[in-house]
Structure 1
Amino acid sequence: MERRTFLRAAAIGGSSAVLGGTLWRGAAYAAPAQPGTGPYGALGAPNANGIRLPGGFTSRVIARSGQTVSGTSYTWHNAPDGGACYADGTGWIYVSNSEINPSGGTSAVKFSTAGAITGAYRILSSTRQNCAGGKTPWNTWLSCEEVDRGYVYETDPWGVTAAVRRDALGRFKHEAAAADPVRQVIYLTEDETNGCFYRFRPTTWGSLTSGTLEVLVAGTGTSGPVTWAAVPDPTGATATRNQVSGAKRFNGGEGCHYADNTCWFTTKGDNRVWQYNAAAQTIELAYDDSLVTGGTAPLTGVDNVTGSSSGDLFVAEDGGNMEICLITPDDVVAPFLRIDGQSSSEITGPAFSPDGTRLYFSSQRGTSGSSSGGITYEVTGPFRS
């Protein structure tokens, strides 16, 4: 997935050290994504699940909060949030956080090669407000606590190995995580109005027992070169975001996704999708609803984000009009689906099955607007590769 913006940023990377702060004027960077026709066409009428989908796509309900998952004896958690998929022999597993405080944690659903549910179980318990997280290359799930001085827990999607609290990743209001196997770091977002963007450099790649937590340092604009500085005290006795002079502020860090030398992350306070070019060490805007021209911004309330093998980003809305929108490699933003009748909810946990043919996500509060009304869905269809 070589997005046009990555190639552009790589081309200017060699001049960053010479130009320094002058790049923050933004002249070297293209405009953020603009509305257009998506690759799947217009949304249809609401289906039986109240979901508007493009032609050729179907949906089903996988689980409902407070109810047993079909074919199992396991009761699905309240307020389903961030999630990810894992290959499991000929089938796969979908994990989902619970944004409840206290007693949040994480659950998992197992599927057969045909997509039938074969099991459901708990993989993390007795934690607080587990919002988003991230998948590691060694097939664990990093579940993040979205509370003051929250922790990151490393969990086993198969539920065999007990979850472990990873103190070295810092204590702050964690939101999401994304692994970069090339630079061997974990990127982390912070859900504060004056939050920061972090990366964790493990002492040994594949182990999160120890390492160095760093914060992104940059100019005050929306594009340009960046550096990283170590956070002196990751325990957060003094807020991690306030320990390094010049740390760049982001207004409400949310979802985070890495692919091919780029980490995309969202900020809900200003409805932006950012992209960090890890090869060139630059950032720029992939989307900003205030910079949309010629019509209404299709994507608002940006939140969780994932990507497909085609290079499309799928961004879930917290509020807005309850859509998952996609941003194509050609910088076109368009709705992919919309949930009707659930305006008091938010869309969470988008993740693709290993073969890329099924998209999982949740409506955190469903039709009731309560954390006990969460619904987890699957959409199947001709996703492009």
Structure 2
Amino acid sequence: MERRTLLRAVALGGSSAALGGTLWRGAAYAAPAQPGPGPYGPLGSPDANGIRLPSGFSSRVIARSGRTVPGTSYTWHNAPDGGACYADGPGWIYVSNSEINPSGGASAVRFSSTGTVTAAYRILSGTRQNCAGGSTPWNTWLSCEEVSRGYVYETDPWGVAAAVRRPAMGRFKHEAAAADPVREVIYLTEDESNGRFYRFVPAAWGDLSSGTLQVMVAGSGTSGSFGWADVPDPDGSPRSTRSQVSGSKSFNGGEGCHYADDTVWFTTKGDNRVWQVDLTAGTYELAYDDSLVTGGSAPLTGVDNVTGSSSGDLFVAEDGGNMEICIITPDDVVAPFLRIDGQSGSEITGPAFSPDGSRLYFSSQRGTSGSSSGGITYEVTGPFRS
């Protein structure tokens, strides 16, 4: 079977809502990606929303910070950040964090089967600087506080069940989370210049109220083998979680995290890298490093949030850079997928595909104003490959 066919077959057998839309073979990525022609062709001129897209794609604005979400009576939150999509009968839901401190929290937008907005509402309140997070196979949203000794909050995308704080998952400067249903663990990134890469092993899968926090143990290189060690005190006081285990591997500013088919990818903003962890082989390596790009300038800088599609493509949002979402293909090619013009004081956050893979949601956290009150949440529709 051709690799691409195999990737698609595996993807269609999984849950795109729970796992972020991608199930692909980590072995396809054998070396850091290099610039090349993207699968969708060059970017066109800016559309009415200031977004440059490949031919055949279009954008629309879903919500703006401080304004009522069209079609609802709900006022959208400031500084939209990490997000995910969930199937909702024939429609779907997009959830989005708010990276402000205090108040933070998260909101959701519900769509009909045709993509019409039918509702918007709050799903988490009273928290601090909720940056990224991750979805679970049991359809909850893990909203992560990006503050010293921050918490993970498990929330209900439908806004029915009350959000629950999950202290067993550790208290540190949380960034993103990714669920691994095979090993029944949750991977976690830490946004510190000497942050660590963690996994939480629940006492019972589907219940995050108790369990063991572990940290990756590995050498100082950019590739090699690794293991896991228990963090003695997940509460992180008086000694931070990243300082408790000798031999734990340091990463420069952990950001987005994405799991699929025995592989987990995560980004580090301090060195513009995308890391790939082969969970079956017990090895890690670089999927992308802007300093290793040859034959021209790096198309992807300011790496941040990340998601994947059913085709096996990785979509990486930029915090700064050229305000692009770049694509990394299973053929180790990196190229811009879209660019937002006129918003250099912002960053792109929260990329997530609708359950059927036909729509990509994301936000410009500070929009044209450069202020947290200027956030804009978008939808892009087009011929995404499957």
The Cα shift of 1:6 comes to 2.4
After superposition, where does 1:177-326 map in structure 2 within 5 Å? 177-237=177-237, 238-326=239-327
2:155 paired residue number: 155
1:39 paired residue number: 39
- 1-side partners of 2:265 and 2:114: how far apart? 32
In structure 1, give the amino acid aligned to 2:55: G
> Are positions 1:122 and 2:122 aligned together?
yes
- 2-side partners of 1:263 and 1:164: how far apart? 26
Secondary structure of the residue aligned to 1:298 is: coil
- 1-side partners of 2:70 and 2:28: how far apart? 48
The Cα shift of 1:280 comes to 1.1
2:167 paired residue number: 167
Q: 1:6 aligns with which of 26, 34, 51?
A: 26
Unaligned runs of 5+ in 2: 1-6, 11-22
> Are positions 1:135 and 2:155 aligned together?
no
- 2-side partners of 1:306 and 1:240: how far apart? 26
Q: Contact 1:178–1:256 at 8 Å: present in 2 too? A: yes
- What whole-Å deviation, never above 9, does each CA across 1:286-310 have from its counterpart, x for those lacking one? 0000000000000000000000000
- 2-side partners of 1:65 and 1:300: how far apart? 26
2:4 paired residue number: none
The Cα shift of 1:8 comes to 6.6
- Taking structure 1 as reference, are residues 158 and 31 closer, same or farther at Cα in structure 2, changes over 3 Å only? same
- 1-side partners of 2:262 and 2:312: how far apart? 12
- 1-side partners of 2:349 and 2:169: how far apart? 23
Q: Contact 2:66–2:76 at 8 Å: present in 1 too? A: yes
- What whole-Å deviation, never above 9, does each CA across 1:79-109 have from its counterpart, x for those lacking one? 0000000000000000000000000000000
Q: Contact 1:85–1:354 at 8 Å: present in 2 too? A: yes
- What whole-Å deviation, never above 9, does each CA across 1:204-234 have from its counterpart, x for those lacking one? 0000010000000001100111000000000
Considering only aligned residues, what root-mean-square deviation do their CA atoms show, in Å?
1.1
Unaligned runs of 5+ in 1: 10-29
Q: Contact 2:28–2:331 at 8 Å: present in 1 too? A: no
> Are positions 1:346 and 2:347 aligned together?
yes
Q: Contact 2:25–2:261 at 8 Å: present in 1 too? A: no
Secondary structure of the residue aligned to 2:168 is: helix
After superposition, where does 1:33-112 map in structure 2 within 5 Å? 33-112=33-112
The Cα shift of 1:279 comes to 1.0
- 2-side partners of 1:202 and 1:365: how far apart? 36
- 2-side partners of 1:316 and 1:4: how far apart? 19
- 2-side partners of 1:225 and 1:150: how far apart? 29
Q: How many percent of aligned residue pairs carry the same amino acid?
A: 82
The Cα shift of 1:170 comes to 0.2
Q: Contact 2:317–2:351 at 8 Å: present in 1 too? A: yes
- 2-side partners of 1:64 and 1:6: how far apart? 37
- Taking structure 1 as reference, are residues 5 and 310 closer, same or farther at Cα in structure 2, changes over 3 Å only? closer
In structure 2, give the amino acid aligned to 1:201: V
- What whole-Å deviation, never above 9, does each CA across 1:100-126 have from its counterpart, x for those lacking one? 000000000000000000000000000
Q: Contact 1:4–1:330 at 8 Å: present in 2 too? A: no
In structure 2, give the amino acid aligned to 1:320: G
In structure 2, give the amino acid aligned to 1:292: V
Q: Contact 1:84–1:135 at 8 Å: present in 2 too? A: yes
- What whole-Å deviation, never above 9, does each CA across 1:236-268 have from its counterpart, x for those lacking one? 001000000000000000000001111000000
In structure 2, give the amino acid aligned to 1:144: C
- 2-side partners of 1:52 and 1:206: how far apart? 40
Matched residues, number: 365
In structure 1, give the amino acid aligned to 2:95: V
In structure 1, give the amino acid aligned to 2:185: V
- Taking structure 1 as reference, are residues 309 and 235 closer, same or farther at Cα in structure 2, changes over 3 Å only? same
Secondary structure of the residue aligned to 2:209 is: coil
- 2-side partners of 1:176 and 1:8: how far apart? 24
- 1-side partners of 2:31 and 2:209: how far apart? 40
The Cα shift of 1:7 comes to 2.9
Q: TM (normalized to structure 2)?
A: 0.93
1:23 paired residue number: none
1:25 paired residue number: none
- 2-side partners of 1:5 and 1:168: how far apart? 31
- 1-side partners of 2:28 and 2:68: how far apart? 49
In structure 2, give the amino acid aligned to 1:289: D
- 2-side partners of 1:211 and 1:62: how far apart? 38
- What whole-Å deviation, never above 9, does each CA across 1:126-159 have from its counterpart, x for those lacking one? 0000000000000000000000000000000000
- 1-side partners of 2:320 and 2:26: how far apart? 30
In structure 2, give the amino acid aligned to 1:352: F
- 2-side partners of 1:382 and 1:204: how far apart? 40
